[in-house]
């Protein structure tokens, strides 16, 4: 599953969702994790709501966004796109966060996480 992180240096989750310059996108699976790409968070808009909407849309392929802080309107925009916001409240290690998430994925993940794991999966009903 694709996960976005707000990070200045790729090692710490240390940015506010609305103020970060880039998002790092990672592929995180129970037995594998790896960096995929960096996407620019620089978005233009007439007002804050336009900028939040643009940021959410560039992350539409992600199931989860880990960020140090996020406001209520931004979190609501992510949830509307079926992206789960995860707020750390303090600077935390990106690698440690990925490792902890993988540990949960290998066990019995909660329902919201199972649903996030299936984001982007296409179910075919051909022949039924």
Report pLDDT digits (tens) over 49-79: 778 888 888 999 999 999 999 999 999 999 9
**Is the predicted pLDDT of residue 92 greater than 60, yes or no?**
yes
Flag whether pLDDT at 99 surpasses 80: yes
User: What's the CA gap between 25 and 100, in Å, rounded?
Assistant: 17
Using alpha carbons, select from 23, 25, 17 the residue that is nearest to residue 73: 17
Domains and CATH numbers, the chain: 2-117 (3.30.420.130)
Radius of gyration over alpha carbons of the chain, in Å? 15
Residue 122 has pLDDT above 70, yes or no: no
What pLDDT does 69 receive? 96
- Given a cut of 50, whether residue 83 has pLDDT beyond it is yes
Residue 18 is predicted with a pLDDT of 87
């Amino acid at each position: 599953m694709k996960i976005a992180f707000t990070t200045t240096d790729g090692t710490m989750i240390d940015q506010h969702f609305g103020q970060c310059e880039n998002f790092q996108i990672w592929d995180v699976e129970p037995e594998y994790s790896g960096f995929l790409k960096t996407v620019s968070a620089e978005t233009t808009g007439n007002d804050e709501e336009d900028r939040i909407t643009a940021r959410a849309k560039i992350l539409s392929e992600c199931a989860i966004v880990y960020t140090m802080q996020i406001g209520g309107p931004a979190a609501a925009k992510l949830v509307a796109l079926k992206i789960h916001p995860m707020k750390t409240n303090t600077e935390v290690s990106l690698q440690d966060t990925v490792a902890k998430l993988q540990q949960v994925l290998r066990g019995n993940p909660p329902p919201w996480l199972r649903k996030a794991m299936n984001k982007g999966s296409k179910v075919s009903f051909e022949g039924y």
